[in-house]
Amino acid sequence: MIKTIHLPFRKNELVPSKQQVLATMGIDRSTPVPPEVEDLFEQGIEEFKSLSDPIGFYKPIAKKELEDIYEGKGQNEMETPIKLIYKRSDQLALFICTLGEKVSKRIDILMKEKDYPLGYMLDRIASESAELAVEKAEQHFADQTNSDKALLYSPGYCGWHITAQEKIFEFLKPETIGVTINESSLMTPVKSVSGILIAGKRSNHNFKNNYSFCKSCQNFACRERIKS
């Protein structure tokens, strides 16, 4: 039986810094932060701390078994960097985590009440927290497998069609931690992340970003993740 590895997230260890959050809003270190934005951040952080309930796990998977899950419904791009990377790596796992339903529901309520500034700030904080959860998972998997580097790759990115979520869910059964998907393969709670953890040599993750879908990428975050 495949062992499930539960991630030891502590409630407030995934709280992003002000700098991390403001950077996603185009405010860097050199830019003066307006007082109203400072206030929104402080309010958002307090709400986030009271609402966030992070939980996640991963399950190792054999390369042969991953092939079927990766193919999903056959809607992937013909060539993708993810397929290239997992085929030359030996340590693989399927992963999922969520910040829980409370924070996602609160964001939804704020938007419906047209409190857009606080809703947007809480959304940015939660998104950065989810990124921290991914980083924790990557490091945990790298440590557990004695690998140089582990990175997460998710459906909906890098040519991997989002409908592959369905087979990831069949394998992981994340309903046990309160995560479900709809007919569009989108997850609930919204602040949830899934995908393949791939560990091995750091060089395994290198690829030329000259795929056709790379042209529509807005931030080339893969470059920074590989270097980090």
Per CATH, the number for 5-227 is 3.40.109.40
Q: Can you give the pTM of this predicted structure?
A: 0.91
Query: Collapsing DSSP states into helix, strand and coil, what is residue 193?
Result: strand
pLDDT along the chain (228 residues), means of 10: 85 92 91 93 98 97 94 90 90 97 97 98 98 96 94 93 96 96 96 96 83 69 59
- Residue 209: the pLDDT is 77
- Residue 218: the pLDDT is 64
- Residue 202: the pLDDT is 87
Cα torsion 143, 137, 157, 86 to 10°: value is: 30
DSSP strand pairing (192-200 vs 149-153): antiparallel
For residues 129 and 117, give the distance between their C-alpha atoms in angstroms, rounded to a whole number: 18
Query: Collapsing DSSP states into helix, strand and coil, what is residue 93?
Result: strand
Which spans in 9-115 are helix H?
18-23, 35-51, 63-71, 81-87, 101-112
C-alpha gyration radius of the chain: 18
DSSP bridge pairs for 98: 55, 192
- Residue 225: the pLDDT is 61
- Residue 62: the pLDDT is 94
- Residue 73: the pLDDT is 92
Domains of the chain, by residue range, sit at 5-227
How many CB atoms are located within 10 Å of the residue 111 CB? Answer: 15
- Residue 147: the pLDDT is 94
